Amino acid sequence: MSEVRKWLAIGSTMLLTLTTMLGLPLKHYSQHVNNLCYNEHKLPKVWTPYAAKMYAISYMKMWFPEWNRSEHKALMKLWGKESAWQHDADNPKSTAYGIAQVLGTKPGTPAPQQVARGLEYIVHRYEKPSIAWAHWRKHGWY
């Protein structure tokens, strides 16, 4: 059964990548993944850094349509430095955990919730990813 889930995850990632490259609206997919977060036993067991990146881009396109590609690139670099897009990245020096390394994130938090919470933090504190990335480059944290 895990082999089937693996191929489903790979297939959905490929579909997500293709639709993102074509600029197709991914609202339904993003909402579907977010809905799964509230029903953890249905979440996919395979969540790769690539899938997390594609999900983050689709989430940004859905909730922040005014952000352009430079914002997407800034987020890719920022969270690449913070966690290498690993959903289980743990900072032993603080309570930061997950893809966005937001303080207070509990281990085991689903990757889609990590992405949503990380973007909420960026909007609250910096307004957009490019400003957060500039802060990270200057200070080594955001």
pLDDT tens by residue, 57-101:
989 998 999 999 999 999 999 999 999 999 999 999 999 999 999
Beta bridge partners of 90: 97
Computed from CA positions of residues 70, 123, 22, 11, in that sequence, does the dihedral angle turn out positive or negative?
positive
On average, the pLDDT of the chain sits at: 84
Domain coordinates of the chain in residue numbers?
2-139
Mean pLDDT of 127-137: 98
Between 2 and 7, residue with greater pLDDT: 7
Q: What is the spatial distance between Cα 25 and Cα 12, in angstroms, rounded to a whole number?
A: 15
Tally Cβ neighbours within 10 Å of residue 106.
Answer: 9
Is 24's pLDDT higher than 60?
no
pTM exceeding 0.85? no
